[in-house]
Amino acid sequence: MSTEQQGFDGFDVLIVAIPPAQALDLLPDDIPFTTELAAVKMSSCWTVMGISDSEVPLEYDALRVMRDSPLAWIARDGSKPGKSESNAWVLQATAAWSADHFEESPDTVREALMDEFARLTAAKLPAVRFADTQRWKYALAQPAEIPIGCYWDAAQQLCVCGDWCIDGKIEGAFLSGAAAAGHILRIDNQPQAATLF
């Protein structure tokens, strides 16, 4: 399927696992949960990953910033499960700061967030060898009043899912995918694994 087609056929089941605004662009207008998808508000997040040659001299692996600051979350990337040891740190800006600086250049954002990292931690940070600055447009959904695992239309056998249905973390993505699988497994004459993947 494509934005030009604005329709879909030839599938047992269609699973659309992308942010709701992008799903709405892609899907035809007659899906039953257009209003619900349009109502999901997502905030953006400027994110910087900085890698230095030597260790950042901090005794902790992560910092959730509770005071007024451009930064919301700072994490030593190598401390995450399954990640190899490295001197990479990830800095994530708040939704408010990201919105206010949405049109800023990546270079300007990187400088501002790295400066704030140094200010907050009061550490003598080593020189950064490599930095990647990303504007993550659809980063976090506002929590729904009634959390929904995924959107499912039994008539068209269409599922729209993603972390934004539950919580903007990997656990939310997993649980939303599991909810989608639950619907598919309950279909009469459900598609076999061989035709699903």
Ligand X SMILES: Cc1cc2nc3c(=O)[nH]c(=O)nc-3n(C[C@H](O)[C@H](O)[C@H](O)COP(=O)(O)OP(=O)(O)OC[C@H]3O[C@@H](n4cnc5c(N)ncnc54)[C@H](O)[C@@H]3O)c2cc1C
Question: Which residues in this chain contact ligand X in the complex, by CB under 6 A?
Answer: 17-18, 22, 26, 47, 80, 90, 136, 162-163, 168-170, 172-173
Integer CA distances (angstroms), 68 to 124, 126, 155, 197, in order:
22, 25, 48, 46
| CA 59/CA 123 separation, integer angstroms | 10
Closer CB to ligand X, 26 or 125, in the complex = 26
Closer CB to ligand X, 169 or 186, in the complex = 169
Q: How far is the CB of 189 from ligand X (least distance, A)?
A: 27
| CA 176/CA 104 separation, integer angstroms | 33
Closer CB to ligand X, 50 or 162, in the complex = 162
Q: Is 82 left (phi over 0), alpha (psi -120 to 50) or beta?
A: left
Torsion on CA atoms 43, 162, 170, 85, rounded to nearest 10: -80
Q: How far is the CB of 16 from ligand X (least distance, A)?
A: 8
Q: How far is the CB of 124 from ligand X (least distance, A)?
A: 25
Q: How far is the CB of 24 from ligand X (least distance, A)?
A: 10
